[in-house]
């Protein structure tokens, strides 16, 4: 997921969490209305919750899930040693209209570091958090700060596709390993970067997988594809449309702009087409009011949203209009123990990408525990990594894509 143009009046900040430090990310707890213990990709709001349905492959067929018991444990054997000041970082949106997505990731990283440090008194990894607001322009100011901080030897982020595109070369040139739990634009691994690793399926996997599921399993004959104008929205819409084939009705395809709130023209177009489903390729900030206006406009079609919509904020902002929606994601649901630990630490339920962020931070921690405490050594450790996480098996191709990437289908009920 996650893309380019973000709107925020907030001031960019940098949050630092030290070894013993605090378990609270200041200002984050009030960003979410979700306080449930759901083990879905997101929690609940107004009595609704996002619940996992199935994990599917590129053909839209259900496949077995990962056994959480086999996942790497950030605690390790408790015998790790490292120098004080050994640091990893998070970079992504902590403020702005879609900040909940970045906060989900930051809190997942924080949980992994916290569990590691409690178990390893001889190696207290520090975590520094950097707010990009999800804005590519701001990210080009923030990422150099990370690169120039020589204590930072690994990064979880950037979170969004647009900011990843804008800063990937900076990170690559610096030799700083960057693992993203959420940036899904397929072209990111085609830029020749040597330090970028994607911890989930890209949009060229999500598109065909979801499209074939909608046509084959759900049996939809006509789908209207609506996209926003972000790198994420346009790239995913193209992939979804191609995957749907004849089921994608060009007569009701539509484009909106990020920041728009009045979708009356789009609703009229969709209503006249009378589709089985509407696939919205974008984020919850626009997806929620779109779902409301489609419902109030008499559209009976199932609302389908991707990972950019798959967040408790969609439920709280769309209200009852979210009921019955299908949401998709390259991200996996939170296992029960993880969900409890996450909420106990962060004061809110886990959300989309929280599990992936936890897994990726755990990989960096395992590298540090094995003595890989320089940027070149930690980079090589990740390149050769092959191990199970809570969400999936993590092993990367030379270009930084996962060797085996799958998609989850969720429902709102």
**CATH T-level fold of 14-39+64-201+333-405:** Rossmann fold (3.40.50)
260 touches 280 (CB < 8 A): no
Beta pairing class for 126-131 and 14-17: antiparallel
Mean predicted lDDT score pLDDT of the chain:
89
Q: Is the pLDDT of residue 239 over 60?
A: yes
Q: What average pLDDT does this structure show over 15-19?
A: 34
Q: What is the pLDDT of residues 348-379, one digit of tens each?
A: 999 889 999 999 999 999 999 999 999 999 99
d(CA 211, CA 155): 33
Instruction: Give CA angle at 281 (277, 333), nearest 5°.
Output: 85
Q: Is the pLDDT of residue 258 over 50?
A: yes
Q: What is the pLDDT of residues 126-140, one digit of tens each?
A: 999 999 999 999 999
- Coil, strand, or helix at residue 337? helix
Residue with tokens 């083990």: 39
Report pLDDT for 66.
Answer: 83
d(CA 17, CA 25): 8
Decide if 14-39+64-201+333-405 and 204-329 have a common fold.
Answer: yes
Instruction: Find the length of the chain.
Output: 413
Report pLDDT for 257.
Answer: 95
Report pLDDT for 203.
Answer: 87
- Each domain of the chain, given as residue ranges in start order, spans 14-39+64-201+333-405, 204-329
Report pLDDT for 1.
Answer: 53
Best CA proximity match to 356, nearest among 391, 384, 403, 399: 391
Beta pairing class for 393-395 and 386-388: antiparallel
CATH architecture of 204-329: 3-Layer(aba) Sandwich (3.40)
Q: What average pLDDT does this structure show over 66-85?
A: 96
DSSP classification of residue 217:
I
Best CA proximity match to 406, nearest among 331, 295, 309: 331
* Mutual angle of helices 99-119 and 354-369, in 10-degree steps: 30
Q: What is the pLDDT of residues 157-186, one digit of tens each?
A: 999 999 999 999 999 999 999 999 999 999
């Amino acid at each position: 997921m996650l893309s380019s143009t973000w709107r925020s009046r907030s001031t960019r900040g940098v949050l630092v969490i030290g070894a013993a430090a605090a378990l609270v990310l200041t200002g984050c707890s009030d960003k979410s209305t979700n306080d449930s213990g759901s083990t879905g990709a997101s929690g609940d709001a107004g009595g609704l919750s996002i619940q996992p349905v199935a994990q599917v492959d590129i053909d839209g067929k259900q496949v077995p899930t990962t056994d959480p018991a086999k996942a790497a444990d950030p605690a390790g054997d408790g015998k790790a040693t490292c120098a004080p000041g050994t640091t990893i970082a998070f970079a992504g949106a902590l403020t702005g209209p879609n900040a909940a997505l970045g906060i989900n990731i930051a809190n997942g990283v924080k949980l992994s570091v916290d569990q590691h440090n409690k178990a390893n008194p001889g190696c207290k990894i520090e975590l520094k958090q950097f707010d990009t607001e999800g804005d590519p322009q701001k990210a080009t100011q923030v990422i150099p700060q990370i690169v120039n901080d020589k204590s930072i030897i690994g990064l979880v982020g950037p979170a969004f596709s647009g900011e990843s595109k804008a800063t990937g070369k900076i990170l690559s040139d610096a030799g700083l390993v960057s693992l993203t739990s959420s940036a899904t634009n397929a072209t990111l691994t085609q830029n020749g970067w040597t330090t970028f690793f994607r911890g989930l399926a890209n949009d060229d996997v999500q598109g065909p997988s979801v499209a074939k599921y909608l046509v084959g399993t759900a049996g939809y004959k006509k789908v209207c594809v609506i996209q926003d104008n972000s790198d994420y929205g346009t790239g995913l819409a193209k992939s979804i449309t191609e995957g749907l084939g004849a089921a994608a009705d060009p007569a009701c395809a539509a484009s909106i702009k990020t920041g728009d709130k009045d979708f009356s023209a789009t609703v009229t177009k969709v209503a006249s087409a009378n589709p089985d489903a509407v696939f919205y390729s974008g984020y919850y900030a626009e997806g929620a009011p779109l779902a409301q206006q489609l419902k109030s406009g008499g559209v009976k079609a199932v609302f389908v949203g991707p990972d950019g919509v798959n967040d408790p904020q969609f439920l709280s902002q769309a209200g009852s209009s979210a009921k019955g929606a299908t949401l998709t994601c390259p991200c996996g649901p939170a296992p029960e123990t993880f969900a409890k630990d996450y909420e106990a630490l962060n004061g809110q339920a886990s959300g989309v990408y929280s599990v992936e962020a936890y897994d990726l931070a755990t990989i960096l921690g395992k590298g540090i525990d094995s003595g890989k405490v320089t940027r070149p050594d930690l980079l090589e450790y990740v390149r050769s990594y092959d191990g199970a996480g809570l969400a999936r098996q993590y092993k990367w191709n030379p270009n930084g894509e996962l060797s085996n990437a799958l998609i989850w289908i969720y429902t709102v009920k």
